[in-house]
Amino acid sequence: MKISLEDLPYIATGAAFLGTGGGGDPYIGRMLATSAIEEFGSPELVGVESLADDANVYTIAMLGAPTVLVEKGACGDDIDLALARLQEYTGRRADAVIPIEIGGVNSLVPVMAAARTGLPLVDADGMGRAFPEIQMVTYNVHGVSCTPLVVTDEHLNSLVVNTGSAKRAEDLVRVCAVEMGCSVMLSSYLMTGRQVKDSAVTGTMTLALEIGRAIAAGRKAGDPVAALLSALRATPYYNHCKVIFDGKVSDLQRDTRGGFSVGLCDLVALDGSEASLQLTFQNEHLVARQGDVVRAIVPDLICVVDRETAEPIPVEGLKYGQRVKVLGVSAPPILRTPAALQVFGPAAFGLDDIFQPIESL
């Protein structure tokens, strides 16, 4: 299928939900993708099964603190440069591009890249949600090398990074990102078509589109949260889902440190009870607790939406007094394996809690 201008608002909404509070404001990504499609035409979205096993597939993403993206966008040339520099360095011409994550702005930056370059966009990603660090992707779990990696900024400065591990690449690139204005474009995880088939979370661009459409239809019908839950239960990955809290934001601690948006969000119930919930986030929501009880925990999705419209609310959009519903949603099975949990389970974020699936909590 071709990704049209009419699809972009739905993809942006669905991706904002799957971003679990992070991934950057999808509105910015939507505007970038809109501009690219208006200038260069609609990119083609292809399934992983259509890739030749020896195809060269390049990732493209924006990395940094989501709060910075509100004021610092992208110029397009920085995206082109990231892809061009990595192709030049490796000597391997790109056959397709693929998202690193489906959450937030990084679902739509690859749409922009595909439109600008004329390359097909693969209907898959490496997370099925958003995570804050480069090594926290299924590509890495399945042995795909993160480097060589190219980082660019809006001034068209560029760096090529080579490291022995994806975690070391994250540490170095995060320092570079801070020096380059706390957000950069990058291309990494150069894969073959066979590696994409073995390691990617498939069909996620289509799923984001369907989630966005369900929320829009639910608004017309009068109960968007119910429509959202119904749509999630019909998907192959996100079918275990529920509202774990209904309340308003009572306190918010949010800071930008080391290239991340970090902090806590406290909520109180609207029913007059003394029930409360606390969300811990590092770009994305990591754990939801009621007192000492864990209600949902990474890598499962913790998503905050407006209680009336089901509009997903990113971390940088949280405000005191907002009336919201918090949803817990199952992560794709590929994120729940023992090997995957070592890379992006609770311990990877310094949490003492063990992972428990949302359906068992």
DSSP 3-state of 272 = coil
> Domain 237-360 carries which CATH code?
2.40.390.10
Q: What is the mean pLDDT of residues 327-345?
A: 97
Q: Where are the domains of the chain?
A: 8-202, 237-360
pLDDT digits (tens, 9 = 90+) for 18-68: 999 887 777 888 888 999 999 999 999 999 999 999 999 999 998 876 667
Residue 2 token pair: 């071709």
Q: Yes or no: say if 326 and 267 are a contact pair by the CB < 8 Å rule.
A: yes
Asked if pLDDT for residue 225 goes beyond 90, the answer is yes
- CATH 3.20.20.370 for domain 8-202, yes or no, is no
Query: H/E/C letters for each residue in 79-109?
Result: HHHHHHHHHHHHCCCCCEEEECCCCHHHHCH
Question: Long-range contacts made by residues 5-8, C-beta under 8 angstroms, separation at least 24?
Answer: 5/34, 5/37, 5/38, 5/42, 7/209, 8/33, 8/34, 8/37, 8/108, 8/111
pLDDT of residue 122: 98
Asked if pLDDT for residue 73 goes beyond 80, the answer is no
DSSP 3-state of 262 = strand
Q: How confident is the model at residue 70 (pLDDT cuts 50, 70, 90)?
A: low
Q: Yes or no: say if 60 and 113 are a contact pair by the CB < 8 Å rule.
A: yes
Q: Yes or no: say if 122 and 111 are a contact pair by the CB < 8 Å rule.
A: no
> Considering only 21-25, 42-46, 132-136, 179-183, which range has the smallest mean pLDDT?
21-25
Computed from CA positions of residues 322, 327, 332, 333, in that sequence, does the dihedral angle turn out positive or negative?
positive
Asked if pLDDT for residue 92 goes beyond 80, the answer is yes
- Give percent of the chain with pLDDT exceeding 90: 83
Domain 8-202 shares a fold with domain 237-360: no
Rounded CA separation 32/49 (Å): 28
